Chains A and B, each alone.
Chain A
Amino acid sequence: MNTVAIKPVAATAGAASGNHAPKVVSQGVKVFYGEKEALHGVDLDINEREVTALIGPSGCGKSTYLRCLNRMNDVVEGCRVEGSIKIDGDDIYDRRIDVVQLRARVGMVFQKPNPFPKSIYENVAYGPRIHGIAQGKNELDEIVESSLTRAGLWKEVKDRLDKPGTGLSGGQQQRLCIARAIAVSPEVILMDEPCSALDPIATARIEELIDELRENYTIVIVTHSMQQAARVSQRTAFFHLGDLVEYGDTSQIFTNPKEERTQAYITGRFG
Chain B
Amino acid sequence: MSSTLVLAVVLLMMLASFVVGRQRALATAGGHTRALHSRPPYYGSYVALWAAVPALVLLLLWVVVEPMVVDMVVRNSLPDDVRALPPDKLSLVLTIIDNLVRGRATVGDVPAYAKEAAARQQSLHATASWAMAVLVIGLAAIGFFFGARRIAPTLRARNHVERAATWGLVACSAIAILTTVGIVCSMLFETLHFFSMVPPQDFFFGLVWDPRFSAAGRDGSAGQFGLIPLLWGTVFISLIAMLVAVPIGLLSAIYLSEYAHKTVRAWVKPLLEILAGIPTVVYGFFALSTLGPLFRDIGASVGLDVSATSALTAGVVMGVMIIPFVSSLSDDIINAVPQSLRDGSYALGATQSETIKRVVMPAALPGIVGSVLLAVSRAIGETMIVVMAAGIAAKLTLNPFDSVTTVTVKIVSQLTGDLEFNSPQTLVAFALGLTLFAVTLLLNIYALHIVRKYREQYD
Which residues in A have some Cβ–Cβ distance to B below 8 Å?
70, 72, 75, 77, 99-104, 107-108, 110, 112, 114-118, 126-127, 130-131, 166, 177, 180-181, 184
Is the beta-carbon distance between B344 and A75 smaller than 8 angstroms? no
- Partner of B341 from the list A70, A101, A107, A114 (CB cut-off 8 Å) is A114
Q: How many A-B residue pairs have CB under 8 A?
A: 67
Residues of A near B359 (CB, < 8 A) are 116, 126
What residues on A are CB-neighbors of B354 within 8 Å?
A: 130
How many angstroms from the CA of A72 to the CA of B358 in the assembled complex? 19
Task: Give Cα distance in the complex from A108 to B348, angstroms.
Answer: 7
Report which residue of B340, B347, B363 has the largest number of chain A beta carbons within 10 angstroms of its beta carbon.
B347
Nearest to A103 among chain B residues (CB) is B349
Contacts of A177 in B (CB 8 A): 344
The answer to whether A108 and B345 touch across the interface, beta carbons within 8 angstroms, is no
B256 to chain A, nearest CB (A): 16
Q: Is the CB of A72 within 8 A of B346?
A: yes
B162 within 8 A of A: no
Inter-chain contacts of A184 with B (CB < 8 A) = 348-349
User: Could you tell me the distance between the alpha carbons of A74 and B346 in the complex, rounded to whole angstroms?
Assistant: 10
The answer to whether A127 touches B343 (Cβ under 8 A) is no
B349 to A117, Cβ gap below 8 A?
no
Q: Given A72-B346, A110-B344, are A100 and B362 also a contact pair (CB < 8 Å)?
A: no
Given A116-B359, A117-B457, decide whether A130 and B341 contact each other with a Cβ distance below 8 A: no
Q: What B residues does A70 contact at CB under 8 A? A: 347
CB-based nearest B residue for A116:
B359
Shortest Cβ distance from B365 into A: residue: A117
A148 vs B363: C-alpha distance when bound (angstroms): 23
**Structural contact, B347 and A103, CB atoms closer than 8 A:** yes
Contact A103 B340 (CB under 8 A): no
Partner of A103, one of B262, B342, B348, B363: B348
Tell me whether B9 is interfacial, beta carbon within 8 Å. Answer: no
Q: How many positions in chain B have a CB within 8 Å of any CB in the partner chain? A: 20
Min CB gap B138→A, angstroms: 66
How far apart sit A102 and B351, CA to CA, in the bound complex (Å)? 12
Known: A114-B340, A180-B348. 15 other contacts (CB 8 A): A70-B347, A75-B343, A99-B349, A110-B347, A114-B338, A116-B344, A116-B362, A117-B362, A118-B362, A126-B348, A126-B358, A126-B359, A127-B350, A130-B349, A177-B344
Contacts of B262 in A (CB 8 A): 77
Q: Is the CB of B349 within 8 A of A100?
A: yes
A57 to B63, CA, bound (A): 71
Please name all residues of chain B whose beta carbon is closer than 8 Å to the beta carbon of A99 when the two chains form the complex: 349
Question: What is the bound-complex CA distance between A84 and B350, given in angstroms?
Answer: 24
Q: In the complex, what distance in Å separates the CA atom of A116 from the CA atom of B367? A: 16
**Chain B CB within 10 Å — which of A99, A100, A104 has the most?**
A100
Assess whether B363 is in contact with A117, with CB atoms less than 8 Å apart: yes
Contact of A114 among B343, B350, B351, B457 (CB under 8 A): B343
**A242 → chain B, closest Cβ, in Å?**
23
| Shortest Cβ gap from A176 to chain B (Å) | 11
CA A180 – CA B343 in complex, angstroms?
A: 13
Q: How far is the CB of A79 from chain B (nearest CB, A)?
A: 14
CB atoms of A127 and B348 under 8 A apart: yes
Interface residues of B in 323-346 (CB under 8 A from A): 338, 340-346
The distance in angstroms between the C-alpha atoms of A107 and B342, with both chains bound, is 14
- Which of B346, B349, B350 sits near A101, CB closer than 8 Å? B349
Are B349 and A127 interface neighbours, CB within 8 A?
A: yes
Residue in chain B with minimal CB distance to A105:
B349
**B347–A116 contact, CB under 8 A?**
no
Contact A131–B358 (Cβ < 8 Å): no
* Contact string against A for B residues 256-279, beta-carbon threshold 8 Å, 1 for contact and 0 otherwise: 000000100000000000000000
| 29 residue pairs A–B, Cβ–Cβ below 8 Å | A70-B347, A72-B346, A72-B347, A77-B262, A100-B349, A100-B350, A101-B349, A103-B348, A107-B347, A110-B343, A110-B344, A110-B347, A114-B338, A114-B344, A115-B344, A116-B344, A116-B345, A116-B359, A117-B341, A118-B362, A126-B348, A126-B350, A126-B358, A127-B350, A130-B348, A130-B350, A130-B358, A131-B349, A181-B348
A89 CA / B359 CA spacing, docked (Å): 33
Q: A residues within 8 A CB of B338?
A: 114
Closest chain B residue, CB of each to CB of A100: B349
Q: A110 — which chain B residues lie within 8 A by C-beta?
A: 340, 343-344, 347
Contact A72 B343, CB 8 Å, known A117-B457, A130-B358? yes
Q: How far is the CB of A186 from chain B (nearest CB, A)?
A: 9
- Chain A: CB-nearest residue to B339: A75
